Amino acid sequence: MTIANEHKLEALLQTCADEPIRIPGAIQPHGALLTVDESSWIVQQASANAQALLGADGAAAGQPLARWLGEEAFACVRQALASGSLEDLDPLSLTFAGRAFDGLLHRHDGLLFLELEAVQEADGTLDRHLTRTLRRLQTARSLAELYEISVNEIRALTGYDRVLIYRFEEEGHGQVIAESATPDLDAYQGLFFPASDIPQQARELYRLNWLRIIPDATYVPVPMLPALRPDNGQPLDMSFAVLRSVSPIHCQYIRNMGVRSSMSISLLKDDRLWGLISCGNRQPLRVPHRLRAACQTIGQVLSMQISALEEVQAQRQREAKGSLLKSVAQAMGEVEGDVYQGLIDHAQDLLALADAEGAAVLIEDQLHLIGQCPTAEQVKALGQWVQAQPGPVIETANLSREFPAAADYPGIASGLLAFSLPKPVENAVMWFRPEVKGSVKWSGNPDASKRVVANRLQPRESFEAWKQEVDATARAWSVGEVYAVSDLRRSALEADLARQVLREKDAVRARDELVAVVSHDLRSPLTAIVMQCGMMQRVIAADVSPSSKRLNSAIDTLQRATARMTNLLEDLLDTSKIEAGRYSISPQPVDLTQFFEDAWSLLAPMAVNKFIELSFTSEPGLRIMADTERMFQVVSNLVGNAIKFTPKEGRISVVATVQGEFVEIRINDSGAGIAPDQLPHVFERYWRIREGNPSGTGLGLYISQGIVKAHGGELVASSEVGVGSEFRFTVPVA
């Protein structure tokens, strides 16, 4: 084929893919279609054959539905629509013009679609046959048995020459996996059909509609009148219409197969198109609606049974790997160092888990190769690609198609199964399978699935078996193997997280121990410094010389620094206990009035120095359950902060009120307030952003919150810049 012809074919294929099959503007002639505006019951469009088929002489689009059906049938339609869902109505039995019709109803795009087919002679044994078929489907113990029952039963029910099940592969093409046909027909069992045979938009319509039928592929399409919708001037969307006319290319395609009549039943799995039951007949064959509905039911049950049996099959494969998986997972949990080391120590089990010829374990700059593997450099490059993939487990039987560099080693790694863990270092576990040279049997040459005749795209004419040699493709990974690797990844993730938690606990414990040791060891020298400072002050007390005054000032500075250092050590100890969840209190009943008096006597001198009005108010006789020393630490911290950040002659109030089973204590000040962007952070460790607090440790509010929580209460803050702040906390009533 020349380059020009290739470009022409590509353009025509794109045109085919974009063919407006949802809006063909016509129907098949074995029925009639009316579209109705339910608000007025006016027929918007009618198929050109409707007047003759329905015996509605003189009826036309734009007239009431009653004019088309007669008053009695129209009343039947209205009553049925008012009494139940459309799914329960199909088919709606109607009689008019001396004939019986099956009425198929659905709503779409603001219109009611009424499709009418003349009733054929009913098969009185249909219900019994359907019940038997469904019972047999439910008793199938394997997928192969399930497929065989389905094709044989549908062929017996419908009379088609050939019934086959066609399964879609990941690559888009399909394979015939079951077939029932008359002996004189060519066998399609096992053959592959190229993806281009069924364009994507056609697959979507198969997904949306359980069944599609073509009684005679040589039919002449019946146009809709008028051609466009009169309400909006748009083509009629017939996505869900049973009578919808199909692509002429498809009609030619099935005629090229030697078929005049066809029916397709969709098979869905997780709302995806899994495959099709495809029926074909060499002569025209019209299957009545009730029989089609029975076949649709078989397709729906088959879809559910396929999913159920695939799950059972996968579970069996998964259970077969159970002992191996348990052994490897246990090794990862018990090994010292990285969890992957447990995999390296059980190399043969690792290979057996995925039935692979080679495996690789990458841990940062260390690479361990097991069995038949590409070179270390090639595996490292592949490991980087694996880590960049979005899914938790990567699976492919044709690696070079997704990772072109793998074309250098198809005989070692055409198949890849791999995963990595969300670690900060490079890591991956990979299994390899070599290519399996062989052939695939296609129904006709897939490279000639479409051809150009007179600048028009034509479907292929040959469906004879055509063998294609295949390379760079490995034996596919089974569902059970993929499950096993997914389970292994989960076990590795759990073991790795457990190690991280243990390391963090050890780090916290070591820090706590360090803080405790440092605190203990520093207290003695700090106490000695304080005592020596006091002694020096007493010695020089009587000396009023300038040098003695300078020395006394230096001793004061030393005492303040020592006191701050002691407070910091206490805060660090408290912080360490809070973070470790080991902060303990000894609550007992406390008279709140006496507690407030003691707090006021100790804090009032600080307030007096700034001429700040400080008040404590409590309901009489109120008692709380609290650790007195720790609770005083909270109150003194909060009031001390308020005094520090309230300007001279300001006001600070401490008020306690009962709130159910708790006492709420509120500390309000008239200070400058806290900026909105800082307020959410005030209880964080080392928060000391406010000006005028250069000497604070930034741990006071964090520790206060920890103490309140240890009492079972809650500490919160609110503030308004320029007005003041409020800190409030709760403590249980005694």
Averaged pLDDT for residues 109-131: 85
- Residue 662 confidence (pLDDT) above 80: yes
According to DSSP, residue 646 is labeled S
- Residue 11 confidence (pLDDT) above 50: no
According to DSSP, residue 733 is labeled B
Confidence tier at 17 by pLDDT (50, 70, 90): low
Any idea which of 124-138, 248-262, 673-687, 694-708 has the lowest mean pLDDT? 694-708
Any idea which of 17-21, 79-83, 722-726 has the lowest mean pLDDT? 17-21
Return mean pLDDT, the chain: 83
Cβ neighbours, 10 Å, residue 662: 19
The pLDDT value recorded for residue 112 is: 95
Report residue 17 as tokens.
């893919």
Report the Cα 105 to chain-centroid distance in Å.
36
Phi and psi torsions of 132, nearest 5°: -65, -40
Alpha-carbon distance of 432 to 415, in angstroms, equals 6
Alpha-carbon distance of 442 to 175, in angstroms, equals 9
Any idea which of 185-199, 423-437, 617-631 has the lowest mean pLDDT? 185-199
Report the Cα 217 to chain-centroid distance in Å.
43
Alpha-carbon distance of 212 to 241, in angstroms, equals 9
CB-count exposure of residue 106 (10 Å: 0-12, 13-18, 19+) = middle
Residue with tokens 């006709």: 444
Domain ranges of the chain: 21-118, 126-317, 588-732
Q: Which CATH class is domain 21-118?
A: alpha beta
pLDDT digits (tens, 9 = 90+) for 394-408: 999 999 999 999 999
Report residue 243 as tokens.
């009578």
The pLDDT value recorded for residue 3 is: 40
Q: Output the CA angle 671-675-678, nearest 5 degrees.
A: 120
Residue with tokens 């049938």: 73
| pTM reported for the whole predicted model | 0.61
- Residue 681 confidence (pLDDT) above 80: yes
The pLDDT value recorded for residue 433 is: 94
pLDDT digits (tens, 9 = 90+) for 535-553: 776 767 666 677 776 777 6
- Residue 532 confidence (pLDDT) above 80: no
Q: Which CATH class is domain 126-317?
A: alpha beta
- Which listed CATH number (3.30.465.10, 3.10.129.10, 3.40.50.360, 3.30.565.10) goes with 588-732? 3.30.565.10
Report the Cα 382 to chain-centroid distance in Å.
27
Amino acid at 46: A
pLDDT digits (tens, 9 = 90+) for 125-156: 777 888 888 888 888 888 889 899 999 999 99
Of 387, 356, 358, nearest to 374 by C-alpha is 358
Of 193, 214, 207, 162, nearest to 299 by C-alpha is 207
Of 637, 608, 632, nearest to 696 by C-alpha is 637
Percent of residues, the chain, with pLDDT higher than 90: 46
Percent of residues, the chain, with pLDDT higher than 70: 80
Q: Output the CA angle 458-16-173, nearest 5 degrees.
A: 85
Residue with tokens 């019994």: 128
Residue with tokens 């098969």: 123
- Residue 526 confidence (pLDDT) above 60: no
* Cα–Cα distances in angstroms (integers) from residue 441 to residues 102, 180, 445, 464, 678, in the given order: 43, 19, 9, 10, 71
